[in-house]
């Protein structure tokens, strides 16, 4: 029963706690009495009950969202693992789009360049960085002969690009620092040496190229 001079705040408190007013406490007093410590049988505060009900509802939604979607992980709630995979796949696509837009090649997309300018630039790079081991005319010295049809690591532009980029453990340095575009040029130049006649050709190493 609302009293006349009760403030709005008091009324709110009452609503939120539903506690029995202090004057009527004797009506909810339990039989327990431990050295004067008594217990009241007040109802649970409604705000607390509401919180509890909300957590129960959220737990049902949570279970449905995260645990019952194994038939289609792409559709609703995703595990962190799945989210990470999706993010990585997205980033990979962006990297590929960037490479495409800026004409940056990698070992999967590289193609042989045949235009004169690129081959000349490739030759320049070759004379500067590679001739010490492979000789200016490609005949081979420390490194294998690059003019013959024999290849240790394959004759495809992708193979040659990969070897120049990463090097090998048997004396071929890696040339990542040249950048993909320059590696594409020097790899194209190396392939253009096929069939040329070096002054002192080193004996063939590896397998004959099985590409026409
Ligand atoms: C320090 C010496 C050295 C330098 C400099 C060098 N190479 Fe090599 N290269 C080698 C050696 C040694 C091998 C053989 C590696 C092996 O058998 O694993 C090799 C292998 C290769 C191959 C693979 C040949 C095959 O038969 O599969 C290619 C292509 C190649 N080099 C290109 C280049 C290019 C292009 C450059 C310059 C950017 C270069 N190399 C610079 C030493 C060198």
The CATH number covering residue 136 comes to 1.10.760.10
User: Could you tell me if 121 and 195 lie in one domain?
Assistant: yes
Going by alpha carbons, the residue nearest to atom 22 of ligand 1 is: 163
Residue 152 inside a domain? The answer is yes
Question: Using the 8-state DSSP alphabet, how is residue 26 labeled?
Answer: G
Residue 135 inside a domain? The answer is yes
d(CA 138, CA 33) in angstroms, rounded, equals: 103
Residue 59 inside a domain? The answer is yes
Q: Please state the domain count of the chain.
A: 2
pLDDT in tens, 148-186: 999 999 999 999 999 999 999 999 999 999 999 999 999
State the pLDDT at residue 25: 85
How many angstroms does the Cα of residue 124 sit away from the middle of ligand 1? 16
Q: Which residues line ligand 1 (CB under 6 A)?
A: 126, 129-130, 132-134, 142-144, 151-153, 160, 163-164, 168, 170-173, 175, 186, 190, 205-206
Domain span holding position 142: 116-208
d(CA 182, CA 120) in angstroms, rounded, equals: 11
d(CA 91, CA 168) in angstroms, rounded, equals: 29
How many angstroms does the Cα of residue 95 sit away from the middle of ligand 1? 29
Q: Which of 193, 189, 191 is nearest to 178 (CA)?
A: 189
Alpha helices, DSSP H, located in 102-152: 116-129, 131-134
Residue 39 inside a domain? The answer is yes
Residue that is last in its domain, among 9, 39, 69:
69
Going by alpha carbons, the residue nearest to atom 6 of ligand 1 is: 130
Please report, in angstroms and rounded to a whole number, the separation of the first and last CA atoms in the chain: 100
From 121, 127, 131, 134, mutation site for ligand 1 pocket: most ligand atoms within 8 A of C-beta: 134
pLDDT in tens, 15-31: 888 888 888 888 888 88
> What is the H or E stretch that residue 111 is in?
none
């Amino acid at each position: 029963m609302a009293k006349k001079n009760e403030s709005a705040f008091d009324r709110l408190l009452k609503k939120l706690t539903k506690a029995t007013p202090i004057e009527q406490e004797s009506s909810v007093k339990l039989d327990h009495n431990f050295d004067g410590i008594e217990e009241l049988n007040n109802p649970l505060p409604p705000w607390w009950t509401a919180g509890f009900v909300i957590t129960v509802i959220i737990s049902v939604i949570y279970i449905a969202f995260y645990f019952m979607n194994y038939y289609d992980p792409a559709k609703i709630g995703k595990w962190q693992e799945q989210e990470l995979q999706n993010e990585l796949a997205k980033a990979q696509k962006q990297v590929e789009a960037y490479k495409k837009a800026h004409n940056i090649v990698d070992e999967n997309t590289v193609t042989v360049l045949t235009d004169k300018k690129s081959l000349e630039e490739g030759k320049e790079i070759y004379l500067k960085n590679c001739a010490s081991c492979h000789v200016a005319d490609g005949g081979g010295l420390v490194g294998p002969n690059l003019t013959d049809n024999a290849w240790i690591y394959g004759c495809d532009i992708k193979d040659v690009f990969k070897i120049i980029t990463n090097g090998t453990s048997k004396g071929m340095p890696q040339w990542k620092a040249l950048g993909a575009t320059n590696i594409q040029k020097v790899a194209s130049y190396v392939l253009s040496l096929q069939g040329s006649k070096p002054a002192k050709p080193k004996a063939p190493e590896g397998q004959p190229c099985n590409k026409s």
